[in-house]
Amino acid sequence: MRIFLTGATGFIGSHIIPELLKRGHQVLGLTRSDDGARQLEAIGVKAHRGDLEQPETLASGAAAADAVIHCAFDHDFATFFENTKKDERNIAAMGEALAGTQKLILITSGIGIGTPLNGGPAMEDVLNPRHANPRIATELAGAALIARCIDVRTIRLPQVHDTTRAGLITPLIAEARRAGAAAYVGDGQARWAAAHISDVAKLYVLALERGEPGARYHASAEEGIAARAIAEAIGQGAGLPVRSVGADEVERYFGWMAPFAGLDMAASNSWTRARLGWDPTGPDLLTDLAAMDYSAITGH
């Protein structure tokens, strides 16, 4: 198939590309720069010029392909709400290009959207349309396309890591350095799901080739790692003390990440593994945190 890949030069997209090429697919990669185009063409990917601020450019890419993998997202948390609405517009625009065809679109969401109302690990069959996380806009945009009989499949991401970055943990390291300590809230038992980037890339391709219309898949190789263990790994790697903080100190130690600090973001992957035969084999989160170059982490 010819796959239109948004986020092609990003962390996740750049790892999806070799998995697609290895499986014999052709890739049309979204890029907004000459440098990005050269980078893609050097590895056998045709560049499609476009920008997340121009939904029509994503729509034309979708129209030129047999399927879409949409993993581009503006991760500027200062404008997080606006960025989720932008994602909603881009999904809608690509949906218009796919309407009336048998083409599929694989969209990207966050693991927390599947958290049950009564707590516990996120589940693939849970979708709360009133979820407080603004990223719910992505899945509601997908649901609108499903209602139009468009084949939409969703990958929900946890903390995706290697030895250079680790999802929200990367800016957490920067905040810990600023605050002078690696902190966790209370007893530190809140958990964050995680997966190595190599396993995540493989899951995208499995969902593309074997997935089901309307299905949601959890890229959570590890269901949950305790916040205290993560803080201890950061402390060890960055040479910082580790401490528990109460609710009155959360903003001081976590800065802009305070809303995430005490969240339990564990996620089950049993349905995903059973349906797609996904078998994660990459390093676990704490192994990568131990091998990370902390001197290279400067912020988010």
* CATH code of 228's domain: 3.90.25
Cβ atoms of 224 and 193 closer than 8 Å: yes
**Residue 100 falls inside a structural domain:** yes
Distance, CA of 98 to CA of 94 (rounded, Å): 6
Q: What integer is the mean pLDDT of 243-252? A: 96
pTM, two decimal places: 0.95
- Provide the CATH number for the domain around residue 15: 3.40.50.720
Query: CA distances (Å), 121 to each of 21, 112, 115, 117, in order?
Result: 34, 9, 6, 10
The pLDDT tens digits for 173-199 are 999 999 999 999 999 999 999 999 999
Give the rounded percent of residues in the chain with a pLDDT score beyond 90. 90
Distance, CA of 150 to CA of 232 (rounded, Å): 45
Local confidence band at 299 (pLDDT 50, 70, 90 cut-offs): low
Looking at every residue in the chain, the average pLDDT score rounds to: 95
Pick the closest to residue 286 from 154, 169, 144 (CA basis).
169
**Residue 274 falls inside a structural domain:** no
Total tally of structural domains belonging to the chain: 2
Instruction: Give the pLDDT score at 207.
Output: 98
pLDDT of 254 strictly over 80 = yes
Orientation angle between helical segments 136-146 and 80-98, nearest 10 degrees: 20
- 176 lies in the same domain as 119: no
Domain range for 289 = 161-193+223-267+281-296
pLDDT of 295 strictly over 60 = yes
DSSP, collapsed to helix, strand or coil, labels residue 284 as coil
**Residue 273 falls inside a structural domain:** no
The pLDDT tens digits for 228-238 are 999 999 999 99
